[in-house]
Amino acid sequence: MAEGLITTKSAAPSTPATNKSNIYVDTADFRTKSIDSNGVISTFNHDGLQDRNILTNGGLVIQQRVATASTAIPGISTTTRAGQVADRWAVTTSVASNLNWARIDVAGTQETNLLARYYGSIISATAGKKVMLSQFILSDEMSHLRGQKVRFSLKHNQKVGSGQTYRMGVLYLTNAGTVDVCPTFLTGAWSTTSSVDPAWGTNLSAITPDASPTGENGTINGSYLDVTSVANTWTRSSAVFSIPTSAKNLCVVFFSNATGGTTDNISIAELQLTQGPEIVDFVQPPIAEELIRCQRFFCKSFPLLVVPVASVTEASGGSGVTSLIAKAAATALAAQIDIQFPVQMWKTPTLTYFTPTAAGAQAFRLTGTTPAVQTATASRTNSLTDRGVVCTATGDLNGAVGDLVAVHYTADAEFVT
């Protein structure tokens, strides 16, 4: 009788010689694997979900808060994750001024070694500074990784400025922390001194990369992988990390080792955190799925590419969320607007109102005699949940029953501190 290849289970063999690979069946889980000359162990018969990106918006497709063109990063800080850029991603810096973000679309001019359609650029406008990009991961989305190995990877490109050293790392919230509550990100302002790493907040700790397999296009140095970003060259760098069994949350970080030049531009793309030590090529998830994942942390009534702000015209921003005037004239509770978020958010968010077509944070009467701002807008007491909110508005003198009234909003449940 003909037989196929018969193998005997064994522990992982030693790393083979350069350009060699060894195939074996692992005693631990009876799965067929290979180990290459870099020490990377690849599983042949896992279910495919291990290749799934744990990070949200790793392709930087969704950007609800800020303009895609180069613009100042709002809320940028030397101690927190308040500098929100592409959804789920935040920028921290050693000098909280003159720092821009841009999302670049390469659909018409694909760049060498880049698989994604978009990349993000952190751009220094004047003074040199250190910069850091980070994402804090919900416990529900990383608990299955405890006690497992993961690979954190990204592509980087020094678009402007000479090649610099950046550090890649994975932080975890220790068992002493409160699950799904990000502590103060840094204990103090990030030092501008070269080779002085950020001082992480209470109960945040860096995970030292595994010595084997060796880091991809980088060198393990203490608790991080050091990578050199080359001018106008896309390079993928990655390292393997063993997640502590006590980890409550994870946070990936990519940061400067030294103060850069006055007009430096470091560009980043294809950020991934995948289960197992395998090197995984970037695959963009379906956009609808990515948007839903982002909206659990931030959603809005504005169109996707319109930055939330008051005074946006209906032609540009739509009508927002609408209702009808139920009581005529300047009367309390003249309108009640039922706002349902597009998805159920992961927790009750912070809500902000914006006036359509006019300045302020009020509802606006869009039809009837002389359309006007309503004189007061508020959330109905206890109505705000992870599903939505009821907005109430006091009318104006010209309001009549049946007039259309509207308000814009943002709902924010992002980890900022």
- Give me the CATH number covering residue 261: 2.60.120.260
Task: Let me know: does 11 contact 29? Beta carbons within 8 Å.
Answer: no
Where a domain ends, among 295, 323, 343? 295
- Domain encompassing residue 327: 298-412
Both 211 and 278 in one domain: the answer is yes
Is 417 part of any domain? Answer: no
Structure tokens given for 369: 């005699």
Both 404 and 285 in one domain: the answer is no
Residue type, 294: C
Both 59 and 37 in one domain: the answer is no
Both 263 and 400 in one domain: the answer is no
The values of phi and psi at residue 88, to 5°, are 75, -10
The predicted pLDDT at position 33 comes to: 83
**Strand partners for 134:** 90, 253
Both 176 and 212 in one domain: the answer is yes
Both 290 and 303 in one domain: the answer is no
What's the rounded Cα separation, in Å, for the pair 108 and 168? 30
Q: For the chain, count helices (H), then strands (E).
A: 2, 27
- Give the DSSP H or E segment for 227: strand 224-229
Pairing verdict, β 21-26 and 9-10: parallel
The predicted pLDDT at position 3 comes to: 66
The predicted pLDDT at position 322 comes to: 98
Structure tokens given for 22: 């060894």
The values of phi and psi at residue 241, to 5°, are -130, 140
The alpha-carbon radius of gyration of the chain (Å, integer) is: 25
Both 261 and 326 in one domain: the answer is no
Both 102 and 219 in one domain: the answer is yes
370: left (phi over 0), alpha (psi -120 to 50) or beta: left
For residue 258, the number of C-alpha atoms closer than 13 Å in the C-beta half-sphere is: 12
CATH number of the domain residue 388 falls in: 2.60.40
Is 392 part of any domain? Answer: yes
Is 4 part of any domain? Answer: no
pTM metric for this prediction:
0.91
- Exposed/middle/buried for residue 171 (C-beta within 10 Å: 0-12, 13-18, 19+): buried
Q: Nearest 5°: CA angle at 25, between 24 and 31?
A: 130
**Per-residue confidence of the chain (417 residues) as pLDDT tens digits?**
556 677 788 888 899 999 888 888 888 776 788 888 888 887 776 556 778 999 999 999 999 999 999 999 999 999 999 999 999 999 999 999 999 999 999 999 989 999 999 999 999 998 899 999 999 999 999 999 999 999 999 999 999 998 899 999 999 999 999 999 999 999 999 999 999 999 999 999 999 999 999 999 999 999 999 999 999 999 999 999 999 999 999 999 999 999 999 999 999 999 999 999 999 999 999 999 999 999 999 999 999 999 999 999 999 999 999 999 999 999 999 999 999 999 999 999 999 999 999 999 999 999 999 999 999 999 999 999 999 999 999 999 999 999 999 999 999 999 999
Residue 43: how many CB atoms within 10 A of its CB? 17
Is 268 part of any domain? Answer: yes
Is 205 part of any domain? Answer: yes
Both 290 and 257 in one domain: the answer is yes
Number of domains in the chain: 3
The predicted pLDDT at position 166 comes to: 98
Structure tokens given for 155: 């592509």
Is 1 part of any domain? Answer: no
245 CB-near residues (< 8 Å, 6+ apart): 146, 147
**Strand partners for 260:** none
Is 2 part of any domain? Answer: no
Is 353 part of any domain? Answer: yes
Both 40 and 91 in one domain: the answer is no
Both 279 and 310 in one domain: the answer is no
Residue type, 305: L
Both 139 and 263 in one domain: the answer is yes
